[in-house]
């Protein structure tokens, strides 16, 4: 072990997808980056189902798209859902039309230990000083700004390191996020608990949808079924937080019982043994994942990934938000270090875009839950638009500042609640049209709600397909900035 001898421009805390993205994207502009990660990779993490924006957008910008293609991950064309009024499963595909699939209209199902290691190794390759087995214990600050971190090396000895910027990418368990924007604001609506584990195989959906995530609603909540390899399937149940005690007392029994309660998933696993290889031999539990913050940056520090916010697992948005947030932060940092504009303006761009994206997914997911009809079930009755509390709506409208709908005049719970109901109806109508879809039309894209939520992802995907955005990007708000040609900084929009 040798101590870092140089000074750093940026210190990144945590080497998951958010940290690996922001650190590599800053190092690619020639800046000096230290990344401190408490585990030694490969390490386990949940969040295995990706979206195309990560695979073809962010991974391409970072230079790992080909390595991802070679890694042998299971290609994912979309999602299959047993969800809503109809008892028959329906498909949602990343392609604009069922027939004219473009080369970026897929993502992957990934073993996170391998995916995260690919991203972290790439960060190291492009010049990031990655320190695994080291832990950040606090920040260095004065009245003006955050100036660095306190950390312990593999020997457990405390150290200090200074930098112009500290990025907290240390995930759900972050200890330093309160230095930006205080406490997390937890969602009541998404206040669920997940219990999950692995099977050594399992039935697959018919090709070409055999790589799809399958999400099945049942009385007590919903289950995910993710094909990771022919001999490995990730299966998790999301149920109401009220079950926490029973689930935590005996996770394995709770997990088995919930799978048995969902006929569709139970049928896929008939006679299939539970996985015995590490780290897939355990049944794990996660809760308290749905929160946001009133601020995402302050002078000298920014939050990205789960350290900043997360909504809910149902639409595989976590790694997208983490890598997208990492990219946005890197653009602001690179521009600041190049002295191209004022720090406040550059980080305001990061924060506005990140909130906007989070806001879109949050709204979409509320309406997605609303869509499922099961009047007898406590879980589904509680997850109706009408049960988004006034406090939560108000806090949320403040967070996105009306941006989520492009409507800056929203101030109270009334219009936001009405908008959510309208979004739920709009999406439900699109899903009902799915069985009649012809070869050229994907009815989901006729839903404004659906189009909006994937809009930014589509811009990232275009970078993957064409090497850059198709048209010159419009700023998100008046006076806002747009991404540079290489996607790694902010520039003034073309007049
Ligand atoms: P992480 O991946 O958690 O990485 C943070 C890193 O920081 C870790 O490696 C940790 O060791 C390190 N660290 C922590 N503290 C310190 C410290 N003090 N010093 C140094 N290092 C530190 N997302 C999807 O995209 N698809 C899914 O299908 C999906 N399913 C999910 C299911 C559930 C039940 C849950 C709860 C989440 C799911 N997610 C999913 C979300 C996904 O897990 C996260 O959004 C994603 O892992 C966030 O990445 P990150 O880089 O922010 O954090």
Measure Cα distances from 295 to 241, 282, 311 in Å.
Answer: 27, 36, 16
Q: Among 186, 238, 318, 354, which is best to mutate for testing ligand 1, by the most ligand atoms less than 8 A from CB? A: 318
What is the model's pTM? 0.94
pLDDT level of residue 439 (50, 70, 90 thresholds): low
pLDDT level of residue 95 (50, 70, 90 thresholds): confident
Which protein residue has the closest C-alpha to ligand 1 atom 33? Answer: 313
Q: With 0-12 CB in 10 A as exposed, 13-18 as middle and 19+ as buried, what is 298?
A: middle
Stretch 260-279: mean pLDDT = 97
Q: What is the chain's mean pLDDT, rounded?
A: 90
| DSSP letter (8 states) at residue 111 | -
**CB 197 near ligand 1, within 6 Å:** no
- Looking at the CA of residue 176, tell me the nearest atom of ligand 1: 18
- Of the two residues 101 and 487, the one the predictor is more confident about is 487
- Phi/psi for 33 (5° steps) reads -125, 135
Dist. CA 256 → ligand 1 center (Å): 25
Lowest-pLDDT choice from 106-115, 191-200, 445-454: 445-454
Lowest-pLDDT choice from 36-40, 215-219, 364-368, 440-444: 440-444
| Dihedral sign from CA coordinates of 260, 265, 270, 273 | negative
What fold is seen in the domain 8-76+90-187+290-343?
A: FAD/NAD(P)-binding domain (3.50.50)
Between CA 353 and CA 187 the distance in angstroms is 20
Question: Which residues are paired to 167 by β-bridges?
Answer: 12, 302
Stretch 400-426: mean pLDDT = 59
Residue 148, pLDDT score: 96
Neighbours of 178 (CB within 10 A): 12
- Of the two residues 99 and 322, the one the predictor is more confident about is 322
Stretch 151-178: mean pLDDT = 96
Between CA 78 and CA 214 the distance in angstroms is 9
**CB 170 near ligand 1, within 6 Å:** yes
Dist. CA 443 → ligand 1 center (Å): 33
Residue 101, pLDDT score: 61
Checking if the pLDDT of 55 tops 70, the result is: yes
| DSSP letter (8 states) at residue 417 | H
Stretch 135-139: mean pLDDT = 98
Residue pLDDT, tens place only, 468-478: 666 667 888 88
Stretch 153-179: mean pLDDT = 96
**CB 318 near ligand 1, within 6 Å:** yes
CATH assignment of 192-287, among 3.40.640.10, 3.40.710.10, 3.30.9.100, 3.30.1330.30:
3.30.9.100
Residue pLDDT, tens place only, 306-365: 999 999 999 889 999 999 999 999 999 999 999 999 999 999 999 999 998 998 888 889
**CB 23 near ligand 1, within 6 Å:** no
Domain residue limits, the chain: 8-76+90-187+290-343, 192-287, 349-455
Checking if the pLDDT of 489 tops 80, the result is: yes
Neighbours of 340 (CB within 10 A): 15
Checking if the pLDDT of 99 tops 80, the result is: no
Gyration radius from the chain CA atoms: 22
Dist. CA 167 → ligand 1 center (Å): 15
Stretch 466-491: mean pLDDT = 84
- Of the two residues 103 and 111, the one the predictor is more confident about is 111
Residue pLDDT, tens place only, 216-262: 999 999 999 999 999 999 999 999 999 999 999 999 999 999 999 99
Which two tokens mark 245?
């005690």
Residue 411, pLDDT score: 33
Long-range contact pairs involving 136-142 (C-beta distance under 8 Å, separation at least 24):
136/13, 136/36, 136/38, 136/170, 136/175, 136/176, 137/175, 138/175, 138/176, 139/166, 139/176, 139/179, 139/301, 141/179, 141/300
């Amino acid at each position: 072990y040798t101590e870092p001898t140089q000074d750093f421009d940026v210190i990144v805390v945590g080497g998951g997808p958010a940290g690996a993205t922001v650190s590599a994207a800053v190092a690619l502009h020639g800046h000096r980056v230290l990344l401190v990660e408490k585990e030694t990779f490969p390490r386990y993490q949940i969040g295995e189902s990706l979206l195309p924006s990560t695979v073809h957008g962010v991974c391409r910008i970072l230079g790992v798209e080909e390595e991802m293609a070679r890694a042998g991950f299971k290609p994912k064309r979309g999602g299959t859902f047993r969800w809503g009024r109809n008892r028959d499963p329906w498909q949602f595909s990343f392609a604009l039309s069922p027939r004219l699939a473009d080369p970026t209209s897929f993502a992957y199902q990934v073993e996170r230990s391998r995916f995260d290691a690919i991203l972290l190794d790439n960060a190291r390759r492009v010049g990031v000083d990655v320190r695994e087995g080291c832990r950040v214990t606090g920040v260095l600050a004065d009245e003006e700004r955050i100036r660095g971190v306190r950390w312990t090396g593999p020997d457990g000895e405390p150290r200090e390191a200074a930098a112009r910027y500290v990025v907290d990418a240390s995930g759900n368990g972050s200890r330093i996020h309160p230095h930006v924007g205080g406490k997390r604001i937890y969602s009541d609506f998404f206040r669920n608990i997940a219990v999950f584990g692995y099977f050594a195989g399992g039935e697959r959906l018919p090709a070409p949808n055999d790589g799809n995530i399958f999400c099945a609603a049942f009385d007590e909540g919903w289950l995910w079924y993710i094909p990771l390899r022919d001999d490995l399937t990730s299966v998790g149940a999301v149920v109401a937080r009220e079950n926490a005690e029973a689930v935590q007392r005996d996770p394995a029994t709770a997990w088995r019982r919930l799978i048995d309660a969902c006929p569709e998933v139970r049928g896929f696993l008939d006679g299939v043994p539970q996985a015995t290889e590490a780290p897939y031999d355990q049944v794990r539990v996660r809760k308290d994942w749905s929160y946001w913050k009133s601020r995402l940056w302050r002078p000298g520090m920014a939050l990205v990934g789960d350290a900043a916010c997360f909504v809910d697992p149902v639409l595989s948005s976590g790694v997208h938000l983490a890598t997208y947030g990492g990219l946005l932060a890197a653009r602001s940092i690179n521009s600041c270090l190049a002295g191209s504009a004022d720090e406040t303006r550059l980080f305001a761009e990061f924060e506005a875009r990140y909130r906007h994206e989070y806001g879109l997914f949050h709204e979409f997911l509320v309406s997605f839950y609303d869509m499922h009809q099961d009047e007898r079930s406590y879980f589904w009755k509680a997850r109706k638009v009408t049960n988004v509390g006034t406090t939560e709506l108000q806090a949320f409208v403040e967070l996105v500042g009306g941006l989520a709908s492009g409507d800056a005049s929203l101030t109270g719970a009334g219009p936001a609640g009405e908008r959510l109901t309208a979004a739920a109806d709009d999406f439900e109508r699109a899903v009902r049209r799915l069985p009649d879809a012809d070869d050229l039309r994907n009815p989901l894209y006729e839903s404004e709600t659906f189009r909006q939520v994937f809009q930014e992802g589509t811009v990232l995907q275009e970078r993957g397909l064409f090497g850059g955005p198709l048209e010159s990007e419009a700023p998100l708000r008046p006076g806002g900035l747009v991404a540079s040609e290489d996607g790694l900084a902010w520039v003034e929009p073309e007049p």
